[in-house]
């Protein structure tokens, strides 16, 4: 049959055609929006961290006994931690743990010009073994000498370091024109100068930096101050991949010290999971809803098409007798459905755009429209509807032409 005839039949079977179209339209609305919303989340999700997530451990403790000498405590802790058989490296860390920013927002500047906006970064203020605990791989320059490490209490008498190692991406962002090695950059609100002595391969290290889309911006300075508040945190590297037992051993060890509690001991993997938790859960639920929508729509189309075929068994038999091959019957039904699907998809895409607009303006949802994604959704839904039709259509194609000679 020609498209003309198919269209006529579609208009004749108004209710079924309308129902199929409506169903496809709603499915496209749901799936279209879900993909817009989930896409960005998944994009973030897939950014590689380039680090040993199951070997780096963040330790958060809180010293509640105000009489305790934090400096001495940290020295003791580091010594005890390094004595654990699992622990390879241990370093005190101030406000930045791996993918967990405890305090503050950090900027780095390549000049003293106050007008110029700096780059966001994860600033790791570490004691010896800090570089090793993070597992950075230097591509240029060197790491710190032991004499360059400054470890003092906070306040006016705090000593500052003068050198820094930075990530490759940060080096390029700060010094796009020349080699960053040997250059001076400025840190902290006071804009203190630090000389770049090393550049390392990119790693995704900072929570705040990630939230601000500066995935790979990080720097390590060999200065660590304590006593600003009750928090005393560590970064460790262990050689037992992801073992729970290791976490417990560390917690038990640190709890032996009176006047302090261990709030959390976790692998970087967990911190990374937490980074995307909210948005990824949202995306997963949306994908779940999409999946259900696809399933229900698929089943619905099968049911509706089966029905419309059962009504037309005789008609199809006549077509067969008049010389329509099985293939032609199949093609005709698929074509008929494709026309419906096309209308449904068009309507659904418009509805999806409208709903997306509604979400973005009324519900603070980020879900930018991605045209190629819309195209994929359209094709996918069309394929789904074609598959759903194929099942009853194949049955229809098998209707024997001899049907017509049966007297009813």
Partner 1 sequence: MNDLLHLAWQGFRQKSKLTSLMIANLVIGITLLLTMGTIIAQSGQSAISHKLDQLHHISLNFMDAEFDRRNAFRTPPLTYRDTQALTQAYQQDDIELENLSFSYTTSFVLDVEDDTARPMDATSSAVDNAFFPMMQIPFLYGAAWGDDMSEEAIIVLDKKANDHLFAGQNSVGKRVVINNQLLEVVGVVDLSSHTYRFQNISFSNRENDLAFVPLGYAINHNLPRVGYMPCMTKEEPARPSYRQSDINGLKTAECGFIHAWAEVSLLNSDEQLGNLTLWLRNYTKQQASQGRFTHLESYYVQSLRLFHDTIYGFMDWERVYLNFAYLLFAITLVNTVGILLAKNQHRAKLVSLYRALGANRAYIIQIQIIELFIAASIAIILGLVGAQIGLYVMYLLALYQMDYVGVADQVLKLYSMDMLFALKAAGAIYLTIIIAGLFPIIKASRIAPASQLRG
Partner 2 sequence: MLKMNDISKIYRTDLVETHALSGVNLTVEEGEFIAVTGPSGSGKTTFLNITGLLETFEEGQYFLDGEDVSQLSDKHLSRLRNEKIGFIFQGFNLISDLNLYDNIEVPLIFRGLNKQIRKQRIEESLELVGLGSRANHFPAQLSGGQQQRVAIARALAGKPRFLLADEPTGNLDTMMARQVMELLQEINRQGTTLIMVTHDNELAQRAHRNIQILDGQLSDIAKSQLTDLAV
Q: Which residues are near partner 1 by CB under 8 A?
A: 15-16, 19-20, 22-23, 26-27, 29-30, 33-34, 37, 62, 64-67, 229, 255, 261, 263-264, 270, 273-274, 277-278, 281-282, 284-286, 289, 292-293, 295-297, 299-300, 303-304, 306-307, 310-311, 355, 359, 363-365, 408
Judged by CB under 8 A, the chain residues 317 through 336 that form the site for partner 2 are 317-328
Which one of partner 1, partner 2, none is in contact with 4 (Cβ closer than 5 to 8 A by kind)? partner 2
Backbone angles phi, psi at 118, to 5 degrees: -85, 180
C-alpha 155: how far from chain center: 39
Which one of partner 1, partner 2, none is in contact with 304 (Cβ closer than 5 to 8 A by kind)? partner 1
Cα distance between residue 286 and residue 365, in whole Å: 13
Instruction: Closer to partner 1 by CB, 112 or 311: give it.
Output: 311
Query: Token match 């994929």: residue?
Result: 376
Q: What is the DSSP string of 315-372?
A: HHHHHHHTT--HHHHHHHHHHHHHHHHHHHHHHHHHHHHHHHHHHHHHS-------HH
Which one of partner 1, partner 2, none is in contact with 326 (Cβ closer than 5 to 8 A by kind)? partner 2
Q: How far is CA 362 from CA 281, 285, 345, in A?
A: 21, 20, 25
Q: Parallel, antiparallel, or unpaired: how do β-strands 223-226 and 150-153 relate?
A: parallel
Instruction: Closer to partner 1 by CB, 181 or 339: give it.
Output: 339
Q: Is 190 exposed, middle or buried (0-12, 13-18, 19+ CB in 10 A)?
A: exposed
Which one of partner 2, partner 1, none is in contact with 274 (Cβ closer than 5 to 8 A by kind)? partner 1
Q: Which range in 78-86, 108-116, 316-324, 344-352 contacts partner 2 by CB under 8 A?
A: 316-324
Q: Does 8 bind partner 2 (CB under 8 A)?
A: yes
Cα distance between residue 247 and residue 241, in whole Å: 11
Q: Whole-number minimum distance, CB 255 to partner 1, in Å?
A: 6
Q: Which of 42, 68, 353, 404 binds partner 2 (CB under 8 A)?
A: 404
Question: Is the CA virtual torsion 39, 40, 41, 47 positive or negative?
Answer: positive
Cα distance between residue 306 and residue 89, in whole Å: 67
CB 57 within 8 A of CB 91: no
Q: Does 189 bind partner 2 (CB under 8 A)?
A: no
What H or E segment, with its residue span, contains residue 39? helix 14-45
Which one of partner 1, partner 2, none is in contact with 296 (Cβ closer than 5 to 8 A by kind)? partner 1
Which one of partner 2, partner 1, none is in contact with 15 (Cβ closer than 5 to 8 A by kind)? partner 1
Instruction: Closer to partner 1 by CB, 85 or 104: give it.
Output: 104
Residues binding partner 2 (CB under 8 A): 1-2, 4-5, 8-9, 12-13, 314-315, 317-328, 400-402, 404-408
């Amino acid at each position: 049959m020609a498209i003309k005839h198919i269209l006529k039949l579609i208009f004749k079977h108004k209710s079924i055609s309308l129902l199929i179209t409506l169903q496809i339209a709603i499915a496209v609305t749901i799936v279209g929006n879900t993909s817009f919303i989930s896409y960005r989340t998944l994009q973030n999700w897939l950014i590689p961290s380039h680090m040993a997530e199951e070997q780096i451990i963040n330790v958060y403790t809180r010293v509640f006994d105000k009489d305790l000498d934090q400096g001495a405590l940290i020295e003791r802790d580091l010594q005890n931690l390094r004595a654990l058989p699992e622990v390879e490296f241990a370093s005190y860390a101030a406000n930045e743990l791996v993918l967990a920013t405890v305090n503050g927002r950090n900027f780095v500047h390549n000049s003293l010009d106050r007008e110029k906006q700096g780059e966001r970064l994860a600033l790791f203020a570490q004691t010896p073994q800090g570089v090793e605990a993070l597992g950075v791989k230097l591509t240029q320059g060197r790491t710190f000498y032991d004499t360059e490490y400054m470890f003092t209490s906070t306040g006016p008498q705090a000593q500052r370091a003068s050198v820094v190692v930075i990530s490759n991406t940060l080096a390029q962002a700060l010094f796009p024109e020349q080699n960053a090695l040997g250059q001076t950059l400025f840190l902290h609100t006071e804009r203190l100068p630090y000389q770049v002595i090393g550049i390392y391969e990119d790693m995704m290290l900072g929570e705040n930096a990630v939230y601000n889309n500066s995935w790979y911006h990080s720097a390590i300075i060999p200065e660590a101050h304590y006593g600003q508040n009750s928090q005393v945190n560590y970064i460790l590297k262990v050689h037992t991949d992801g073992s729970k037992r290791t976490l417990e051993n560390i917690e038990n060890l640190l709890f032996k010290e009176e006047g302090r509690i261990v709030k959390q001991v976790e692998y970087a993997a967990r911190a990374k999971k937490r980074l995307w938790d909210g948005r990824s859960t949202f995306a997963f639920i949306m994908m779940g809803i999409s999946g259900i929508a696809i399933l229900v729509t698929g089943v619905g189309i099968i049911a509706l098409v089966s029905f419309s075929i059962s009504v037309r068994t005789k008609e199809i038999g006549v077509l067969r007798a008049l010389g329509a091959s099985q293939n032609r019957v199949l093609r005709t039904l698929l074509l008929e459905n494709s026309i419906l699907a096309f209308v449904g998809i068009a309507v659904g895409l418009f509805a999806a755009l409208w709903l997306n607009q509604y979400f973005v303006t009324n519900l603070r949802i980020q879900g930018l429209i991605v045209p190629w994604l819309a195209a994929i959704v359209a094709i996918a839904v069309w394929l789904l509807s074609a598959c759903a039709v194929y099942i009853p259509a194949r049955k229809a194609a098998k209707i024997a032409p001899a049907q017509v000679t049966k007297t009813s």
